[in-house]
Structure 1
Amino acid sequence: MSQFSDLWFETRVAAESFADFVAGGRLRLGVTGLSRAGKTVFITALVHNLTRAVAAGRKAQLPVFRALTEGRISAAHLDPQPDYSVPRFAYEEHLRALTGPDRHWPQSTRRISELRVTLEYTAKSWSLRNMAQNNTRLDIDIVDYPGEWLLDLPLLGKTFAQWSRETLEAASVAARAPIAADWRGATAMADPKARYSEETAQNLARLFTNYLRLAKTERYALSTLPPGRFLMPGDLEGSPALTFAPLPVEEGQDLPYRSLGREMERRYEAYKAHVVRPFFRDHFARLDRQIVLVDALAALNSGPAAVRDLETALTDVLMAFRTGRSNLFSTIFRPKIDRILFAATKADHLHHTSHDRLEGVLRHLTGRAITRAEGVGAKIDVIALAAVRATREAMVRHEGEQLSAIVGTPIKGERIGDEVFDGVEEGAIFPGELPEDPGKVFRGDALGLGDEDADFRFLKFRPPIASLGQDKLALPLPHIRLDRAMEFLFGDRLS
């Protein structure tokens, strides 16, 4: 950005923040995570639990969420969102998917969306914020966006040559080389100084995108794969801003006019200007709180390379946040993310005796990132979470031995050995235990991680059957530590 555009951006953010403060209690909560981490399910469960638990008087549903258990929340309801240019989060559609007769997990996040849930409450103590807000209302604007977009933010500080070098080096490591072979072969044959050809550019971009798509599959479960929009292009599909690929060029290299290298560099810069920068300016820089959902179990299923790659991605994600201790000045004029929650999702795929070990794995994965954020005053927490609990626990006798199992309905096609599930009948699963030493997940050969005969494999389950209240509407679905997430993310704003 130029100095003028930097100044204009900061002035605009300050003006919007001041307007938010004067208008009343408002908190912008960012919800993100890499693919299949459960963002859509988390938001749907969060809103449904808030609105239904209050309406039905089910305080026991959220015992750690103090404002509710203390009886200080009088109403919770959806309100029109403030940003008319942002698509609304399809809450009702996703809730029907989870609670309908053909219950299934809703579709994953593919774009940015927003939803406002309003809590009417009675504060326990006086503060300047409460006085300004009449002490009665908190609007929580939930901003849902793909975590892959966060991994694009570091591109703003990288040249085309730097990004190309890093991407080509990453594709040469053992975990990526096989799936990058076609693209790397075509890149080796391309001359950056040769005259630009649209056919060549499209072919390189197609092969590069195929490599990114393969890396995201469950078999590999790799995470650090910018540019993020290549896998979810939306309206930009086929545009020049998404038709480029890395090339072996040197920093400061003088590329001929209308050469392939110069055109790829121009398109890379257009991607930053028209895709990455507007996301940062219009949405990301205005967040107050953030939850990052992490599917650590998928990485464990795929092996140590995926685990190490996830660690790098989470460090890059936190580097993108504008973190710091919030005070009155920053609240009014310069918002900062002062609380970040890392949540290992799908905790219901494990017996509760392994939940603390799952948290330990996530703390190990985010250790470098957390140290940096805490150094500037942000508060960080790590939890094992299931926004919707799809299993229950049971003790099952197996070969004369009592074993801790989880019971649920595996999705059709899931299998253990020769047994293939039909998606209808429940099954008792022995998921195994995570290691006491979380560092062992980086040495997965000792555990068999990523192998069919691993110490544990994690299946996918259908959502639980919803219970109906007297009003014939679905009651809040069971969860694991969703209330703890609520208390950390916005409980202090209701005190």
Structure 2
Amino acid sequence: MQIELIDFPGEWLIDLPMLDLSYEEWSRNMLAAAECGARKEWVLKYFDHVDAIGIGAAFDEEVAEDLADLWREYLQVSIDSGYVLNQPGRLLRPDALRNSPILRLVPLPERLAGSGLWVGMEARFKDYKSKVIKPFYKKHFSKIDRQIVLIDLLRAIQLGEPVFNEMTESLSETLKSFNYGKGGGLSWLVGGATSHVLFAATKCDHVTRGDRANIEQTMRRMLSHLDDQNELRASSLKHEVMAISSIKVTEDRKTTKPPVREVLFGLPKGAAQPNQYDPGGVPLDFPPHWGEVDFEFYEFQPMHELMTDALYEGFPAINLGRVLEFLIGDDFA
């Protein structure tokens, strides 16, 4: 038995819903999102540049490159701030396509429809779907039979309602494509054989031991809500939800003085020494009651003792055994 692991950025997965959109629809969606909340401050340079373009503008690679640079700057600030609905994803993670003209793709306002610039961008949008998105998914998804979707649920909760809502919206759109072979966005994949999909809430070592089950419960409620038509569950896929940590960088402890409660012992980013921290509780409701959320996401780093012990004992983890059992346990039954 041979196991091949394929890892790809989540930014590429975010592109998948683009396959079902026209350039006009995609532009409308992206520009509308850019005008909401904190995003509208980050996109000002791009909008100012686009506003100066006349309706008679022709498509030109230099103009396209300038627009793509400004759009990329906006997307980078967005993703650094926790927002995930950033398309085209390859602008952020170009890989072998770095500096390729096909990545000079941006949304344009409808007032420019019919202009040479619009026509050129529309053609590029079609090329991006046919030459970038489809080949990538056909290459990998037609062969992958077990899939893990990593979800940074805790950071989204920490960053608040707008980020959390965008994460769930993006996941909802992506889920529509996971209905393999039954009319979903991946139904065009010939030979697709994905049978197991695991939705994993990561970094569960950043919450106290008693809250780790709550993370899974929150994830289940979220997926049940997003898959309200039962499309994923009614498909042939076997799917599961887990809270995991590939490297456990904290220790589970309890306070010594009443009221006794569970805390984490760890080394947050920027701290000189490890200490005890109380991150608060993970909300069980979906969507959370934001006025009642009391959770702090500490960016814990590996402690020196952990790194030393790992040389001889390996890194401690949470639920990786369950992950392997779900993904490949059937093959050893």
Matched letter for residue 159 of structure 1? S
What secondary structure does 2:254 align onto? strand
Shift of 1:324: 6.2
1:282-315 deviation line (CA, Å, top 9, x unaligned): 1122211111111111111110111111111222
Shift of 1:223: 1.1
How far apart, CA to CA, are the structure 2 residues paired with 1:163 and 1:236? Answer: 21
How far apart, CA to CA, are the structure 2 residues paired with 1:157 and 1:434? Answer: 35
Higher RCO (CA 8 Å, separation ≥ 6 residues): 1
**1:358 touches 1:434 (CA, 8 Å); kept in 2?**
yes
Shift of 1:193: 3.6
Unpaired runs of at least 5, structure 2? 183-189
Report the number of matched residues. Answer: 322
What secondary structure does 2:268 align onto? coil
**1:363 touches 1:382 (CA, 8 Å); kept in 2?**
yes
How far apart, CA to CA, are the structure 2 residues paired with 1:458 and 1:409? Answer: 12
Shift of 1:392: 1.1
Query: 1:191: which partner in 2?
Result: 54
What secondary structure does 1:408 align onto? strand
Query: 2:330: which partner in 1?
Result: 492
Does 2:234 match 1:375? yes
What secondary structure does 2:5 align onto? strand
Alignment partner of 2:117 out of 260, 281, 303: 260
How far apart, CA to CA, are the structure 1 residues paired with 2:268 and 2:126? Answer: 45
**1:192 touches 1:247 (CA, 8 Å); kept in 2?**
no
1:15-72 deviation line (CA, Å, top 9, x unaligned): xxxxxxxxxxxxxxxxxxxxxxxxxxxxxxxxxxxxxxxxxxxxxxxxxxxxxxxxxx
**2:141 touches 2:194 (CA, 8 Å); kept in 1?**
no
1:92-125 deviation line (CA, Å, top 9, x unaligned): xxxxxxxxxxxxxxxxxxxxxxxxxxxxxxxxxx
**1:405 touches 1:428 (CA, 8 Å); kept in 2?**
yes
- Relative to its length, the structure with more helix (as a share) is 2
Shift of 1:318: 2.5
How far apart, CA to CA, are the structure 2 residues paired with 1:439 and 1:268? Answer: 34
Measured on the aligned residues, the alpha-carbon RMSD in Å equals 2.4
Matched letter for residue 312 of structure 2? A
Shift of 1:204: 1.6
- Relative to its length, the structure with more strand (as a share) is 1
Query: 1:243: which partner in 2?
Result: 104
Query: 1:387: which partner in 2?
Result: 246
Does 2:8 match 1:151? no
Query: 1:171: which partner in 2?
Result: 34
Query: 1:87: which partner in 2?
Result: none
1:79-478 equivalences in 2 (<5 Å): 138-217=1-80, 220-249=81-110, 255-256=114-115, 259-321=116-178, 323=180, 334-367=191-224, 368-369=226-227, 371-397=230-256, 401-411=259-269, 413=270, 421-422=271-272, 425-440=273-288, 443-444=289-290, 446-447=291-292, 455-464=294-303, 465-466=306-307, 474-478=312-316
Computing the radius of gyration from Cα coordinates, the structure with the larger value is: 1
Pair 334,243 (structure 1): closer, same or farther in 2 beyond 3 Å: closer
**1:215 touches 1:222 (CA, 8 Å); kept in 2?**
yes
How far apart, CA to CA, are the structure 2 residues paired with 1:277 and 1:172? Answer: 29
TM-score (norm: length of structure 1): 0.61
Matched letter for residue 271 of structure 1? Y
Shift of 1:192: 4.8
Shift of 1:249: 3.0
Unpaired runs of at least 5, structure 1? 1-137, 326-332, 414-420, 449-454
Query: 2:185: which partner in 1?
Result: none
Shift of 1:196: 2.9
How far apart, CA to CA, are the structure 2 residues paired with 1:157 and 1:467? Answer: 50
Shift of 1:467: 5.8
How far apart, CA to CA, are the structure 2 residues paired with 1:162 and 1:291? Answer: 29
Shift of 1:468: 5.8
